[in-house]
Amino acid sequence: MDEGRLAGRVALVTGASRGIGAAVARAFAAEGASVALAHEPVPAMAALAEDLATELRASGTKAVALSADLADPDAVDDLVAGTRAHLGPLDVVVANAALSARTPWRDITVADWDRVFAVNLRASWLLARAAYPDLVAGGRGSIITVSSVMARTGQAGALHYTASKAGIIGLTRALAREAGPDGVRVNAVMPGAIRTEHEQELDPDADAVFAQIAAVQSLKRRGSADDLTGTFVYLASDESAFVTGQVLTVDGGWVFG
């Protein structure tokens, strides 16, 4: 595709099988980007990512589905190398993939804690490191991390997930300082309560969840993955060329400031 705000750019989106990642990949493709769809190395996620890649290719987008266990540092390097081999040097990295679980804090094992941090926080750093030479050389590099409103609200029941998402904010701000002199921008998107397939699996009763969310949001409707895509496109494009180190909250008016 030759037109659009991301025309000619190569984007890697992790967690792209479904939910926010899939919506972002579709939005990037619609704006002209070539897209690598990184997915968890399990059959169900692989099938979804392959279906999405087929869909995008049918619309004229260069797209590839790539498997990676983001808890494995070597797999992160291989993912970036695979993106480059299939699509060319990277311009945009979206570190969206995350592990989440609801566990009382005293029942979290050390192994659970370490894997959540490896996928959610460490992999964001490793992705940035592996892609960095491309991002610098292309002259318009953008790294987009994904935090969570839970880092602000401090809700109970997911201490390891919440702590990892708070860490994303620190990583984003510090990396923006490190990368700025090389012309690479680093920003975070902080989603609120977004109705995704994962949430549907955890909370099948959509009405009950909506009642809880409506009580805290300013906008009295559920957020969807498509509500986030404009923010990601903005951060990946030249429209945000002077924006770095920022956390953009998209939560229907739940938390302010």
Q: Domain for residue 71, yes or no?
A: yes
Can you tell me the mean pLDDT for 158-182? 98
Q: Domain for residue 215, yes or no?
A: no
Pair of tokens at residue 35 = 């897209």
Q: Domain for residue 40, yes or no?
A: yes
Buried b or exposed e, range 155-175, using 16+ CB within 10 angstroms? eeebbbbbbbbbbbbebbbeb
Specify the pLDDT at position 231: 98
- Lowest-pLDDT range, 68-77, 101-110, 195-204, 247-256? 195-204
Q: Domain for residue 72, yes or no?
A: yes
d(CA 191, CA 49) in angstroms, rounded, equals: 22
d(CA 12, CA 180) in angstroms, rounded, equals: 20
d(CA 7, CA 13) in angstroms, rounded, equals: 16
Say if residue 2's pLDDT is above 60.
no
Q: Domain for residue 208, yes or no?
A: no
**What pTM does this model have?**
0.95
Q: Domain for residue 51, yes or no?
A: yes
Residues catalogued as catalytic: 161
Specify the pLDDT at position 1: 44
Coil, helix or strand for 81? helix
pLDDT, tens digit, 9 for 90 and up, residues 84-101: 999 999 999 999 999 988
| Number of domains present in the structure of the chain | 1
Q: Domain for residue 209, yes or no?
A: no
Q: For residue 105, how many other CB atoms are within 10 A of its CB?
A: 13
- Lowest-pLDDT range, 177-181, 219-223, 226-230? 219-223
Give the H/E segment covering residue 10. Answer: strand 10-13
Question: Identity (one letter) of the amino acid at 29?
Answer: A
Closest to 97 measured CA to CA, from 175, 187, 185, 198? 198
| Domain, as residue range, for 102 | 10-194+225-241
Specify the pLDDT at position 3: 85
8 A C-beta contact, residue 210 and residue 192: no
Mean pLDDT (the chain) is 95
* CATH number for position 79: 3.40.50.720
Q: Domain for residue 212, yes or no?
A: no
Can you tell me the mean pLDDT for 118-123? 98
